[in-house]
Structure 1
Amino acid sequence: MYAKNLSLLLHRQLSEPRSYDETLKRFESLRGYGQLPRGRERAAQRLSNSEIARAVLGFVPTLSGWAGHVALIMGDLRPVGGVAASFKGVASLAEAMAALLTKDEDCNALVSLTLSIARIPGNDEYQAKLIFEEDGQRKTNSYVSEYALTLAAAGAEKDFDHDRPLSTNTRQLVLNREFFRELKRDIDLSRHWNRPLETDWREYETEDERNAFDERLGARRGSRFLSLGVDTAVTWPKEPTRVEFGGHDFVLFPKTKEHSHSISIDLHHERISVEAAETLLNRFLSLLAWCDDQHAILREGWTGNPVPVPVPRREIASYVMPDWMFFRSLPEDKELLNCLSYYREGLNAAEAEIASQAVLSFFKVFEMWRDARKAKRWIKRVFTDACTNVPEHALAQFHSDRQETEIEDYCYKCRVAAAHASKSYKSDADISSETRRLSAAADIMRALARHYIRTKFGFSDSYMSDKINR
C-alpha cells in the first residue's frame, strides 16, 4: 500500500464531500510531521500498518493543516491501565489500530473506535475509546495522554469512566468494524498484487526544497523535535533562525498569519529531556524578557517531529449571541464582588500560563475567612463535590503530585509556594516540572473557587438569573 493509494481510499471513506486537494493537504501535513515517509525519493515506500493507522488519525481534525499535528499526538495516546489492559497488549493507540489491520479475527472483534477532540480552555485534549469483543464478552479500552501517569498504573481502568466526555464540547469520529474490514481488504489486495507506484508527483513538487530548508535548521536522521508556542513582545528574528544558548541549539520561528512565535529543539541530537529543554527555553525567555522589559510566555506544544516546525496560532474560542440576552444585575454583596474579582484574576493568569498567580488568585476566593485552618477544613469537606467536573487526567496529575500529603495540606502548600519566596516551599517559575505541578494545582483551585462562589452565595453562572434555582 503506497501513500498515494491510501490517500484515494481514505478520501472516499472519510473526506465528506470535499475536494481531493484537501486530502492531499492532509497527507502533506502528515509527511511534514513524520507520520508518513517524506520526500519524492520515498514516495514508492510501502506503508506499514502503523503508518496507515496514523494516516487515518489525520482525518480526525476538521482542518486539513492540523492532520499531522493531531495524528502525532493521538497516535501516541496510552492505554488506561497500562499495556496489560490494552487491546492486544500494545503500548499506544496507533499500535492498537495497526493490530486491527493485521489479522482478520482482530478486525472482526472490533465493535467501534471513537476518536475525540475536546476543547479545554486554552488547549485541546485528545482521547480514544476502543470497544471490542473477546471470549464472548464486550470490553472497553480508553487511550489518554502519555502525561496522565497515574492512569497508566495497573488497575486504573477499573475506576475509569470510559463514557465521560472530556468537556462540554467534544468532536468525535466514530469508526466501526466495516470501515476497518474494507480498509484491511484493500490493503491486503494492494500487497498481494504488488504493483509499481503510479503518480504524477504533483504533491511532491515543493517537498525537496522544504527538505533542504529543514536540514539548514538542523534536521538530521533520527531527529525528534520538541515544538512550543511563545506569546511575547520581545525582539524576535523575522525569519526561521537557528540559535545557540546554554550549550544547545534550537530554532526560533517568527509569528505569521497562521503561526505564533515558537521554538523547536531536537531532543535526540541535543541529548536533552523534555523537562530539561522546557527549563532551558524558560531561562532563555527570562533573559530576553529582562533585556527588553517585555513579557515572554512559553506555551504548550508537542514532541515527535523529525523536523523543526512552527506552532499554529492559538485561536481562543469565544461565544457570540445573535440576540444578546443578559439579565444579570450588579451584586450588592461586597464579599461576592471581591471573590469575583479574584476569580477573574485567576482566569487571566491561567490564560497567560502564569501558574503560580493562578493558584494564588483562585485560592484567595475561598480564603476569605483569613484563617488557614478554616480554609483547609473546608477544602477537605467539599473536595469531592467541587471537583466533579474536573477532567480525570487533571485529577490524576494532582493526586500524583501530592503523593501521600493530605489534599487540604497540599493545596495550602501550593498557595504558600505561589505567594512567598519560602525556604520551606521553594518554587522556581522557570523549572518545567514546577510549572507543570502548579498548573495541575491551579485546575483544582479553580474548581474549588467556583464551588465556593456558587454554594456560599447561591450565585448563578447563567446569563438569565442572579440566583441558582433550587
Structure 2
Amino acid sequence: MYAKNLSLLLHRELSEQRSYDETLKRFESLRGCGQLPRGRNRAAQRLSNDEIARAILGYVPTGSGWAGHVALIMGDLRPVGGVSASFKGAASLRAAMAALFANDDDCNSLMSLTLSIARIPGNDEYQAKLIFEEDGQRKTTSYVSKYALSLAGAGAEKDFDHDRPLSTNTRQLVLNREFFRNLKRDVDLSRHLDRPLETDWREYETEEERNAFHERLGARKGSVFLNLGVDTTVTWPKKPTRVEFGGHHFVLFPKTKETSHSISIDLQGERISAEDARTLLNRFLSVLSWCDDRHAILRQGWSGNPVPVPVPRREMAFSTMMTWMFYRSLPDDEQLLNCLSYYREGLNAAEAEIVSQEVLSFFKVFEMRRKGPQVGRWIAEEFDAACKNVPPEFLKRFNEDRQEKAVEKYVYENCRVAVAHASKKFTSDADMSSETRRLSVAAEIVRALARHYIRTTFSFSDSYLSDEVNQ
C-alpha cells in the first residue's frame, strides 16, 4: 500500500465530500511531521501498518493543516491501566490501531474506535476509546496522554470513566468494524498484487524546494523541533529567520493570515530539553520586550516535527445562542461586584498566559473578607468541596508540587506571596519553564477556590437564567 493509494481510499471514506486538494494537504502535513515517508524519492515506499494508523489519525482534526500534529500526539496516547489492559497488549494507540491490520481475527474483534479532541482553554486534549470483543466478552480500553502517569498503573482502568467527555466541547470521530474491515481488505489486496506506483507527482512538486528551505533554517536528519506560538508587538523579522541566542539557534516565523508569530527550536540538534528550551525562549522574549518596551507572551505549541513549522493562528472559542436568553440583574452587593471583577481579571490573565497575575487575581477573590490566618483556615476547610470537580491530574500534580506542606500554607506562601512580592524566602521567576508550569497547576486550584467562594458566599448563580443558585 503506497501513500498515494491510501490517500484515495481515506479521501473516499473520511473527506466529507471535500476537494481532493484538502486530502493532499493532510498528507503533506503528515509527511511534514514525520508521520509518513517524506520526499519524492520515498514515494514508492510501501506503508507499514503503523504508518497506515498514523494516516487515519490525520483525519481527526477538521483542519487539514493540523493532520500531522494531531497524528503525532494521538498516536502516542497510552492505555489506561498499562499494556495489560490494552488491546493486544499494545503500548500506544498507534500500535493498537496497527494491530487491527495484522490479521482478520484482530480486525473482526473490534466494535468501534472513538477518537476525541476536546477544547480546553489554552490548549486541546486528546483521548481515544477502543471497544472490542475478547473471549466472548465486550471490553473497553481508553488511551490518554502519556503524562497522565496516575492512569498508567495496572488496575487504573477499573475506576476510570471511559464515557466521560474531556470537556463541554468535544469533537469525535467514530470508526466502526466495517471501516477497518474494508480498509484492511484493500490494504491486503494492494500488498498481494504488488503493483508499481502510479502517480502524477503533483503532491511532490514543491517538496524539494521546501526541503532546501528547511535545511537553511537548520533542519537536519534526526531533528525534533519544538514549535511555540508568540503573542507580541515587538519588532519581528518579516520572513522566517534563524537566529542565535544564549548559545543556541532557533527559528522565528512571522505572523501571516494563517499563522501567528512563532518560534521553533531543534531539541535534538541543539541538545536541549523542552523545559530548558521554553526557559531560553522566555529569556529571549524578555530581552526583546525590554528593548521595545512592548509585550511578548510565549504561548503553547507542540514538539516532534522533523522540520520547523509555523504555529497556526489561534481560533478563540466562543458560544452563541440562536435565541438570546439572559435574565440576570445587576448585583447590589459591592463586595460581590468586586469579587466578580477580580475573577474576570484572573480569566483575562489566563488567556494572556500571565500565570502569576492569574494566581494573584483569583486569590484576591476570597482574600477580601479574610486576612492572614483567617484566609488560611478558610482554604483548609473548603478545599475538598471547592476542588471536587478539578481534574484528577491537576490535583495530583498540585499535591506533588506542595509535597508535605499544608495546602493553605502552600497556596498562600508559595503562590500568593511568591507572585505578589519580591520575597527572598518565596521566590518566583516568571521566565523559568518549571515555575510557570507549577503556577499554572496552582492557578487551576486557586480558580476553583475563587469560584466556590463566590458561589457559596453570595449564593450567586452561574446560569444565564437566574440570579440565585438552585438548591
TM-score by length of 1: 0.95
Separation in 2 of the partners of 1:17 and 1:246? 49
User: Partner of 1:62: helix, strand, or coil?
Assistant: coil
**Whole-angstrom distance in 2 between the partners of 1:113 and 1:311:** 29
User: Structure 2 vs 1, CA of residues 70 and 190 (structure 1 numbering), >3 Å: closer, same or farther?
Assistant: same
Find the aligned partners of 1:335 and 1:365 in 2 and give their Cα distance: 9
Deviates more, 1:125-134 or 1:80-89: 80-89
Deviation at 1:358, TM superposition (A): 0.8
Q: Which residue of 2 aligns with 1:79?
A: 79
Q: What is the CA-CA distance between 1:161 and the residue it aligns to?
A: 2.1
How far apart are 1:154 and its partner, in Å?
4.2
Q: Give the SS at the match of 1:113.
A: strand
For 2:162 and 2:382, the matched residues in 1 are separated by: 25
Q: Does the aligned pair in 1 maintain the 2:232–2:261 contact within 8 Å?
A: yes
Report if aligned partners of 2:122, 2:300 keep a CA contact under 8 Å in 1: no
What residue number does 2:171 align with? 171
Task: Tell me, yes or no, if the aligned pair for 1:229 and 1:298 is still in contact at 8 Å.
Answer: yes
Q: Could you tell me how far 1:359 is from its partner in structure 2?
A: 1.1
**Quick check: 1:32–1:307 contact (8 Å CA) kept in 2?**
yes
Are residue 454 (structure 1) and residue 464 (structure 2) matched? Answer: no
Deviation at 1:189, TM superposition (A): 1.7
Is the 1:252–1:261 contact (alpha carbons within 8 Å) kept by the matching residues of 2? yes
Partner of 1:327: 327
Distance (Å, rounded) in 1 between the aligned partners of 2:235 and 2:304: 28
Secondary structure at the counterpart of residue 142 of structure 1: strand
Give the conservation status (yes or no) of the 8 Å contact 1:232–1:297.
yes
The Cα of 1:372 is off from its aligned counterpart by: 4.1
Partner SS state of residue 426, structure 2 = coil
CA distance in 2, matches of 1:156, 1:367: 38
State whether residues 79 and 142 of structure 2, in contact with CA within 8 Å, keep that contact through their aligned partners in structure 1: yes
Assess, with a 3 A threshold, how the Cα gap between structure 1 residues 27 and 73 changes in structure 2: closer, same or farther. same
Cα RMSD over matched residues? 1.8
Say whether residues 1:374 and 2:374 are aligned partners: yes
One-letter code aligned to 1:106: D
Aligned equivalents of 1:150, 1:404: Cα separation in 2: 19
Shift of 1:169: 1.2
Q: Which residue of 2 aligns with 1:93?
A: 93
Counting only pairs closer than 5 Å after superposition, residues 248-287 of structure 1 correspond to structure 2 as: 248-287=248-287
Report what 1:417 is aligned to. 418
Distance 1:361 1:144, change over 3 A: same
- CA shift at 1:362, angstroms? 0.9
| Counterpart position of 2:438 | 437
Which runs of 5 or more structure 1 residues have no equivalent in the other structure?
Answer: none
Match of 1:232 in 2: 232
Partner of 2:470: 469
**Residues 94-143 of structure 1, C-alpha deviations (whole Å, 9 max, x = no match):** 12211222233322232221111111122221111122233333332222
Whether the 8 Å CA contact 1:151–1:396 is kept in 2: the answer is no
Distance 1:392 1:191, change over 3 A: farther
Specify whether residues 87 and 400 from structure 1 end up closer, same or farther in structure 2 by C-alpha distance, changes over 3 A only.
Answer: farther
Choose 291-300 or 132-141, whichever is displaced more: 132-141
- Over 3 Å counting, the alpha-carbon distance change for 1:351 and 1:80 in structure 2 is same
Tell me: CA distance 1:168–1:102, structure 2 relative to 1, closer, same or farther (3 Å): same
**Residue ranges of structure 2 left out of the alignment (5+ in a row):** none
CA distance in 2, matches of 1:159, 1:364: 36
CA distance in structure 1 between the partners assigned to 2:243 and 2:332 by the alignment: 55
**CA-to-aligned-CA distance 1:291-337 (integer Å, 9 cap, x gap):** 11111111000010000000001111123345443332221111111
Partner of 2:311 in structure 1? 311
Give me the whole-angstrom Cα distance separating, in 2, the residues matched to 1:198 and 1:141.
Answer: 39
Give the CA deviation at 1:209. 0.9
Alignment-mate amino acid for residue 159 of structure 2 = D
Distance in 2 (CA, whole Å) between partners of 1:310 and 1:380 is: 45
- Partner amino acid, structure 2, of 1:131: I
SS at match of 2:298: strand
Give the corresponding residue for 1:401.
401
Partner SS, residue 367 of structure 2: coil
Quick one: which amino acid aligns to residue 429 of structure 1?
Answer: A
Alpha carbons 1:122, 1:316 under 8 Å: kept:
no
State the SS of the aligned residue for 2:447: helix
- Secondary structure, aligned partner of 2:199: coil
Q: 1:375 to 1:36 in 2, by over 3 A?
A: same
Note closer, same or farther for the CA distance 1:307–1:452 as it changes in structure 2 (3 Å cut): same
SS in 2 for 1:366: helix
2-structure distance, mates of 1:320, 1:337: 25
Q: Distance in 1 between matches of 2:108 and 2:424?
A: 60
- Amino acid paired to 1:18: R
Letter in 2 for 1:447: A
Which position in structure 1 is the counterpart of 2:150?
Answer: 150
Aligned match of 2:109: 109
1:166-201 superposed Cα distances (whole Å, 9 cap, x missing partner): 111111011122222222222122112211111111
Work out whether residues 74 and 93 of structure 1, in 8 Å CA contact, stay in contact via their aligned partners in 2: yes
Deviations 1:225-262 (A, max 9, x none): 00000011111100000011111111000000100000
8 A Cα contact 2:250 2:265, kept in partner: yes
Q: Percent identity?
A: 79
Give 1:340's aligned residue: 340
Asked if 2 retains the 8 angstrom alpha-carbon contact of 1:100 and 1:180, the reply is yes
Report whether the alignment pairs 1:292 with 2:284.
no
User: One-letter code of the match for 1:358?
Assistant: E
